[in-house]
Amino acid sequence: MTVPEFMRAKSQGRKLSVLTAYDSLWATILEESGIDAILVGDTLGMVVQGKQTTLPVTLEQIIYHGEIVARCAPKTLVIVDLPFMSYQVSSRQAVRNAGKILKETGAQAVKLEGGINQSKTISRLADCDLSVMAHVGMRPQSVHKLGKMSAIQRDAKALLADAKAAEDSGAFSVVLELVPAEIAQEVTDTLSIPTIGIGAGAGCDGQVLVTPDMFGLSGFQPKFVKKYVDLKKLAVEATKQYMTEVQEGQFPDDAHSHK
Ligand code: KIV
Ligand code: NA
């Protein structure tokens, strides 16, 4: 999957499926499943590092994880988040850090949070042929301004303006987070680049979920997350069974021992 193929899916009416990954185990699982794109999101801070927000994630950390994912999912489009304060200072800073991410990870694209407020930066990145995905609606890096990360964004005019600014500035796609379904549908109908929704209804051109959420590993279960399998429950059960078998001398048995 390439950036142009990802963009073409919209005109072909083919829905795009995107999931996050941060390591080789999940990069391999997602690549084998044939997912359209993998996002190395700055949710890294929450689901891998156990922090409260995405803000502490550093450029060095996202590059470390991005390189692993891009190497282990060579056929999949890999998009890496620009961390908080790695692009907001200036478009020069954004170009330098987006370039560093693409050089050092082997990923094909970056993502940043913003629309109108980042239009100059998006167009500078696009001028340098750095493929950039925008992220509008609820922007987790703005958590302290919003007061909480669950704030649904209902201002249709502002959302349309942000998404349109991202498209006009050269973004190849835009994430819509926590947007009422009717507004996300309207934005999707207005734009010619694919919209990728999270908590934004079925009208978007594609969907993204945080992988540990949909596998029941993170314990994060808001309305928009569908838990497809409860891997945490299965893993706790397997761990307990292992402990019992070790205690009772059932593991290792002959089949799992060298003679
Ligand atoms: O960091 C992330 O995982 C994201 C998705 C929720 C879109 O930005
Ligand atoms: Na993110």
Residue 80 Cα to ligand 2 middle (Å): 9
Phi, psi of 173 (to 5 degrees): -170, 165
5 is catalytic: no
pLDDT-derived band at 83 (thresholds 50, 70, 90) equals very high
State the complex-level ipTM.
0.99
pTM of the model: 0.98
pLDDT per position as a tens digit, 247-257: 999 999 999 99
* Residue of 5, 60, 177, 237 with catalytic role: 177
Q: Where are the beta strands (DSSP E) in 104-251?
A: 109-113, 131-137, 173-177, 195-198, 206-209
219/26 Cα distance (integer angstroms): 18
Atom of ligand 1 minimally distant from the CA of 177: 7
Residue closest via CA to ligand 1's atom 8 equals 41
* Ligand 1 pocket check for 169: Cβ under 6 Å: no
Residue ranges of domains in the chain, CATH in brackets:
3-228 (3.20.20.60), 231-259 (no CATH)
As a whole number, mean pLDDT of residues 121-133 equals: 98
Phi, psi of 80 (to 5 degrees): -115, 130
